Structure 1
Amino acid sequence: MIKSRLSAATWALSVVAAGAMLVGCSASVSAGKSDPELSKAKLADTVAEKLAATTGQPKPDVTCPEDLVGKVGNTGRCTLTASDGSTLGVTVKVSSVQGSNINFGIKADEKPTPAAS
């Protein structure tokens, strides 16, 4: 099977066409903390799945540098890296927390950053 390779610009256009604000839902609990926490790996995977499902494109390479603490209003940043090396920033914002479930919205930046030469 051949997977299409997309630039961050293509992803940006796909995300804007699908609607810039998307909603995702995941859960994770860290022991010893009062607020649930979603690991950076699970957060990146969930963001990638939601972008792929919303845009109808293959699952992108997404990385998130920090865990997401489940507190309403908390934000985080993730990065989508395209096969050409260009990147697209994605903001994650916690909209609600229900027990250990963290509900959050994702919003992709409008413009990608070109690959370094």
Structure 2
Amino acid sequence: MSILALAAGSTLLLGCSASVEVKKSTPPKLSAGKLSTTLSEKLAAATGQPRPHVSCPEDLVGKVGTTSRCTLTADDGSTLGVTVKVTSVRGDRINYDFKADDKASSSQH
């Protein structure tokens, strides 16, 4: 079973949470690269599969309610959207929930 199938399965439909400490800034920001890496690690841990390729187009601003969209890409080129939402900020630590979309987009070959 692929990471996409598992990510879209019941495990991630409920959503998952993560917490990341970031460099000091006002408001704190989590770089797009670090967000991509963290989501990849969390998705792999939640599904028991190897780390998938996750791409986030922008930094995540540490402000409660801020959302961002990232993309998980499978080996076959199909993609799955992942929504990230900031739930709380404590000092330089950004806490956020993330949820994979219910359905993958097929590859465009």
TM-score of the aligned structures, taking structure 2 as reference length: 0.91
Moved more, 60-69 or 13-22: 13-22
- % identical equivalent positions: 50
Amino acid at match of 1:17: S
The ranges of structure 1 where at least 4 consecutive aligned residues each deviate by more than 4 angstroms after the TM superposition are: none
TM-score by length of 1: 0.85
Partner of 2:10: 17
Aligned-pair CA distance for 1:18 = 1.6
Aligned residue pairs total: 107
1:1-117 alignment, distance < 5 Å: 10-15=2-7, 16-20=9-13, 21-29=15-23, 31=25, 34-117=26-109
Gaps of 5+ in 2: none
Q: Which SS does the other structure have where 2:35 is aligned? A: helix
CA RMSD of aligned residues (A): 1.4
Query: Larger Rg: 1 or 2?
Result: 1
Amino acid at match of 1:18: T
Structure 1 unaligned regions, length at least 5? 1-5
Spell out, residue by residue over 1:40-61, the C-alpha distance to the aligned partner (whole angstroms, 9 max, x if none): 0000000000000011010000
Question: Would the aligned equivalents of 1:12 and 1:108 in 2 still touch at CA under 8 Å?
Answer: no
Q: Matched residues in 2 for 1:13 and 1:88: separation?
A: 9
Q: Distance in 1 between matches of 2:5 and 2:55?
A: 20
